[in-house]
Amino acid sequence: MLHRLLRGGCSPLLCIWVLLLPLVSLNQHGHRNHNVRDQSKLLLVSFDGFRWDYIDRVPTPNFRKLIDEGVMVEQVENAYITKTFPNHYSLVTGLYTETHGIVANEMYDPILNRSFSMETDSIYDSRWWEEAVPLWVTIQKAGGRSGAAMWPGSDVKIHGMFPNQYLRYNASMSFETRVEHIIKWFSAPKEEAVDFGVLYWEEPDESGHRLGPQSPQMDVVIFGIDQKLGFLIDELVKAGLYEKVNLIVTSDHGMAQLSPDNIIELDQYVSRDLYTWVDKSPVVGILPNQGKLEEVYGKLVDANPNMAVFKKESIPEHFHYQHNVRIMPIIIEAKEGWTVVQNRSSPFMLGNHGYDNTLRSMQPVFVARGPSFRRNYVKTSMHSVDLYPLMCQILYIRPLPNNGSLLNVIDLLSPDITPSTPSAPPRVTSYSYAPVVGSLLGVVMVLGFLVVYIRQVTLKQLPSLKHRRREMSQPLLQEDLHL
């Protein structure tokens, strides 16, 4: 971890703080102490498919209010593939999809010999989700409480737990009713109130698919989402929660415009008898029949210039999309705006997502506001996996190993909650030998790190960007802050 901090260009003081953070934020049992509960409430809201630039397209006074009173990140690179289930699980685990195991909305697991589809009850099989631990489980194990309104995966028993309060998925439940539940859970008597809430809404994704993001009709949809955000803000104000609860509003992905002229028909290139079609466009998972991998790959690889065809081992490392048995031996990635089907009888949509996560059209909005956040602050970029360590910091929870970096996003938080401020609340109520020994070890490590840092700066031997990129491609960075 020290090397990672160094390469991240962190200042020595900031590094010392990060290294000591676990010692000051947890008591000797690894639990949060009750003094901080009231100051660290957090509500994470996802408007599915809300592209980053939608807020500039029509008047969005409620998004603007949150930005004026809080923070905005202009560019959020989400997780590949840019689909709903994979990205919602990345937001609450801080893991790339290959690591948390929800690699697509439609999956096949050759070990379980089971298929997963967001359209069926297969999603309630815990085994799909248990390669990772969502934040609500970690909070509850640390003595906190959580509530979930329809967030993907939140109505599944994961590692033996549901959120303390949750709603079984029901697409017909209105946004307003979901908000009522969230408000009730945060407003409950102190011992029952949730510390962490997640709220999911299906729009503007559904309209984006149906109309295409370039449709003028999307203006009305986007304005409607802003109105829903206004409703949430009003309800938080009415309940006396607006100044107490940190509110993060983001999304899983953006949306690209499609055209009926930009369709690739696989039947033109390879027989259906040779493979199983596992996941849908624009990143199609192909499972060749036994012994047919080379034949299928050979027929597809140069078949159409508007799609890239990868054997699993050749998927570009920056996608972090290789190291899981649920990723198929061949994947086809359509170019932005193109659709891959078997033939034209397949249903067609005017908008879609799932493409390369570095495309701006695939990236989500991100705004946040509350007692932990700075005010009127705009940040250039972050990765969506960085949100997890940020949320753990707000909630005073020790993060599990993850692919994100708190250092990348620490500037979003108000200086008032950093330990460098004398008025920062005490976060340890009791002492044992363990934290004392831990602190001494921490000091030794920090001194060691400073020696290495000074030496490296002196010798101008900091690693190259190329080297850093190679490190970033590892399946799990484990930037846990453990000493």
Contact of 234 with 274, CB cutoff 8 Å: no
Applying CB under 5 A, does 106 fall inside the site for Zn ion?
no
User: CB of 180: closest distance to Zn ion in angstroms?
Assistant: 26
Q: Which of 84, 93, 97, 339 is catalytic?
A: 84
The span from the first CA to the last CA of the chain, in angstroms, equals: 9
Contact between 242 and 233 under an 8 Å Cβ cutoff? The reply is: yes
**Structure tokens that stand for 192 in this block:** 């029952």
Helix (H, G, I), strand (E, B) or coil at 107: strand
Q: Kindly list the distances between the CA atom of residue 49 and the CA atoms of 52, 54, 148, 341, 417, in Å, as whole numbers in the listed order.
A: 9, 10, 19, 22, 32
> In angstroms, what is the minimal distance from the CB of 308 to Zn ion?
21
Q: How far is the CA of 252 from the CAs of 97, 144, 204, 427, in angstroms?
A: 13, 25, 11, 33
User: Which residue, among 87, 113, 116, has the nearest Cα to 100 in the 3D structure?
Assistant: 87
To Zn ion, the closest distance from the beta carbon of 282 in angstroms equals: 11
Closer to Zn ion by CB, 87 or 140: give it.
Answer: 87
Q: Quote the CA–CA distance of 216 and 208 in Å, as a whole number.
A: 11
Q: Nearest approach, Cβ of 25 to Zn ion (angstroms)? A: 37
Residues 241-300, interacting with Zn ion (CB under 5 A): none
Antiparallel, parallel or unpaired: β 106-109 and 114-117: antiparallel
Minimal CA–CA distance to 63: which of 412, 368, 310? 368
99 vs 251 by CB, closer to Zn ion: 251
For the CB of residue 221, give the shortest distance to Zn ion in the complex, in Å: 13
Distance between CA atoms of residues 135 and 480, nearest Å:
14
Residue 280 or 335: which CB sits closer to Zn ion?
280
205 vs 356, beta carbon nearer Zn ion? 205
Amino acid at 252: D
Which residues pair with residue 248 across a beta bridge?
Answer: 44, 368
Q: Which is nearer to Zn ion, 287 or 349 (CB)?
A: 349
In the residue annotation, 380 being an active-site residue is answered as no
Alpha-carbon Rg for the chain in angstroms: 23
What residues between 193 and 232 interact with Zn ion by CB under 5 A?
Answer: 205
Residue 426 Cα to chain centre, angstroms: 30
86/399 with CB nearer Zn ion? 86
CA distance 95 to 399: 11
Q: Could you tell me the smallest distance in angstroms from the CB atom of residue 481 to Zn ion?
A: 34
Tell me which residues in 132-171 interact with Zn ion (CB under 5 A): none
Q: Angle at which helices 61-69 and 217-238 pack, to 10 degrees?
A: 50
Q: Which residue is nearest to Zn ion (CB)?
A: 205
51 vs 398, which CB is nearer to Zn ion?
51
Q: How far is the CB of 209 from Zn ion (least distance, A)?
A: 6
Using CB under 5 A as the criterion, which residues of the chain lie in contact with Zn ion when the complex forms?
205
Just list the catalytic residues.
84
